[in-house]
Amino acid sequence: MKIAKSPATATANHERDRRARAAIAAALFCAFALYIAWHASHESQTRPIDELPMSTARGDDTSIPNADVDKSDLIKRGAYLTRVGDCAACHTADPGRPFAGGRSISTPFGKIYTPNITPDPDTGIGQWSDTDFVRALHEGIGKAGERLYPAFPYVEFTRMTEQDMLAIRAYLNTLAPVHYRPPANELRFPFNQRWLMIVWNLFNFNEGRFVPDPKQSPQYNRGAYLVEGLAHCEACHTPRNFMQGLKTTERFSGATQAGWQAYNITPDRTSGIGNWSDDALIAYLSTGIAAGHASAAGPMADVVQHSTQYLKYEDLRSIVAYLRALPPVSGGVTRPRDAWGMPAADDITSLRGTAVTTVSGLQLFAVNCASCHRWTGEGVGGNVLGALPSLIHNSVVGAPSPDNLAMVILHGVRRQTKDSDMLMPAFADELNNEQVAAISNYVTKRFGNPQATLTADQVAALRAQPQ
358: number of Cβ within 10 Å: 7
For range 230-255, the mean pLDDT: 94
Q: What is the pLDDT of residue 297?
A: 94
* DSSP notation for 232-290: -THHHHS-B-TTS-B-GGGTTS-EEETTEEE---SS-TTTSSTTS-HHHHHHHHHHSEE
Predicted confidence at residue 220, as pLDDT, reads 97
- The pairing of beta strand 104-107 with beta strand 110-113: antiparallel
AA identity, residue 361: G
CB 258 within 8 A of CB 467: yes
Q: For residues 420 and 246, which has the higher predicted lDDT (pLDDT)? A: 246
Separation CA 390–CA 293 (nearest Å): 10
- Segment 18-41 shows an average pLDDT of 50
Residue 196: name the closest of 246, 146, 158, 142 by CA: 146
Q: What is the mean pLDDT of residues 104-108?
A: 90
Q: Name the more confident of 36 and 86.
A: 86
Q: What are phi and psi of 256, to 5 degrees?
A: -110, 130
- Contact criterion met (CB below 8 Å) for 206 and 150: no
- Pairwise CA distance, residues 114 & 105, whole Å: 8
Query: At residue 337, does pLDDT exceed 70?
Result: yes
Higher pLDDT, 467 or 139: 139
pLDDT-wise least confident of 98-107, 345-354, 414-423: 345-354
* CA distance between the termini of the chain: 73
User: pLDDT for 260-308, tens place per residue?
Assistant: 999 999 999 999 999 999 999 999 999 999 988 999 999 999 999 999 9
285 CB-near residues (< 8 Å, 6+ apart): 304, 308, 309, 311, 316, 319
